[in-house]
Amino acid sequence: MIPSATPLAGLGDPFAVERFVRERSGRWRRLEELLDLADRTSEAALGPELIRELVRLYRLAAADLSAARSLTADPDLLGRLNALYSRGYRFVYSAPGFRRRGRLADPLRRFFAVDLPAAYQREARAVAAAAAALLLGTLLGLGAVLAHPAASVDLIPGEFYTASPRDRVAQIEHGEERIATVEQAAGFGAFLYTHNIQVSFLAFSLGALTLVLGLLFLFWTGLFLGAIAATYYLDGVSVFFLAWVGPHGALEIPSIVFSGAAGLVLGRALLLPGDRSRGAALRAAFPTIWRMMAGVMLFLVAAGLIEGSFSQLSAKAVPYPLKIGVAAVLLLSLFVYLFFRRVGRGAGGPG
């Protein structure tokens, strides 16, 4: 959290911003110097006195950022302070395990350990809104088909309605394994994650451009998913459905939700910037958006590889309980990693 700043005198003065920068720019430069030194040397070489000075200047910079936001919408000033605060936060609050000889670990490790989950935690409300849209659609699709089985014809696209679920299960379980070689699994997986990335990009784009259509797309996706699940339940093969969809769905379905949520974050900055200019709102939102979408791409690649191999194995090769157990572990691990690890909201840049 950024400390609250003391009220600034002369907020109505047109020269207040100029005085604000003039009075504080010296300590901002000093903090930048100390952070640069910390990046180049070890904590021991930096020494306790300089570390104390760095921490003190970081806290002042945090207060200055809060004060600047109430004083101006200048994107250059806010961007500089935002970047300075982020660098200071990572130095002050990073766990000792993230340091090597007093320096932060390499950017890739920091991205996965801190920046990626912090981005999702900052936008947990957008994720919750996207998840609610998909869940509502899923429940309605499930309920509609359970109440009126004939409704499945209208809710499920024709290419997914080629055989009854029971016949499909019999074909899979009594025939040869669909994926017999590593090459087949890799090829099928590449096709799947390419398709899933296209679906996720559509959810992202609709949310970014319209907000409402992004939520409607997630609702429709849930409606389709719920209707399919209901047909398998009515045919008495719901356990097969969980074992078939679960392992890759544990990553694939949340990823579609996450891409829709990232679209909502961009759409909010683009369409509802509030007191800030649209450009300033977009610049503030961009670091979170690209981290969220980078995570989506990685999760979808993993989901595609799982769907192209493990998910396709019949009960002869992998028992249903094991596949369902793997799905539960993957889903739980994903949400613990993204939402239940305390990584600090400032990591990766406040925004």
180: which DSSP letter?
-
pTM as predicted: 0.69
Lowest mean pLDDT among 43-52, 81-90, 256-265, 288-297: 43-52
Whole-angstrom distance, CA of residue 120 vs CA of residue 345: 10
Q: Please report, to the nearest 10 degrees, the dihedral formed by the alpha carbons of residues 114, 116, 119, 123 taken in order.
A: -120
Q: How many Å from the N-terminal Cα to the C-terminal Cα in the chain?
A: 11
Tokens 């709102």: give the residue. Answer: 281
Over residues 163-175, the mean pLDDT reads 81
Residues 99-124 pLDDT 10s: 444 344 457 777 898 889 989 998 99
Residues 244-278 pLDDT 10s: 999 999 999 999 999 999 999 999 999 999 888 88
Query: Got the DSSP string for 147-172?
Result: H-GGGHHHHS-GGG-SS-HHHHHHHH
